[in-house]
Amino acid sequence: MQSDKERLKELLKEHSLMFGQFVLVSGKKSNFYFDSKKTTLLPEGAYLVSREILRLIREEGIEAEAIGGMTLGADPIVCPVAAVSQLEGPPLRAFIVRKEAKGHGTARQIEGNLRAGCRVIVVDDVVTTAGSTLKAINAVVQAGYEVAAVIALVDREEGGTEKLSKWPYYPLFRRSEIFEQAAS
């Protein structure tokens, strides 16, 4: 029987991996692109991402109260993880980091119901140079939270890992794993 992780890899290959000419957030040009939302916004994809992230958290003994990241990439990951965590544990609150503090209402950059100073996991859908991930980490640290770990759905293996070496960093998949399956 196929594991949840193998099925998730299959979904990423089928729905999220695209070939062509793309410009990445970093400005770099690439002949492939991971549009992870095409997987994470599927019911099965959201469920499997949640199961795999929670499995990883338990296996690695990561102690945190919340999981979140930069909008928009983290949004379809953190909410399902929080919901499934209520059933499977450990229970995690979700939070979302805005690109900048909103100019009205509470004027917060981080949305969620977090306890002051709590330990959090920062998640990103795809890490290339880690620029977006680092922006989320900086916002979290400035807000007074402690980063317990960083988790990525896919690491493109283009330098982001090294930039995240200050924190425990766990990609669910690396580009080479997805390409390996794409070739088979």
pLDDT tens string 79-122: 999 999 999 999 999 999 998 877 766 668 999 999 999 999 99
Helix, strand, coil percentages, rounded to 5, for the chain: 40, 30, 30
pTM for this prediction: 0.94
Average pLDDT over residues 6-13: 97
For residue 11, is pLDDT > 70?
A: yes
Average the pLDDT over each of 25-39, 64-78, 169-183 and give the range with the smallest value.
Answer: 169-183
- Two tokens at 2? 């196929």
Give me the mean pLDDT over the 172-180 stretch.
91
User: Which residues are CB-neighbours of 13 under 8 A, at least 6 positions away?
Assistant: 178, 181, 182
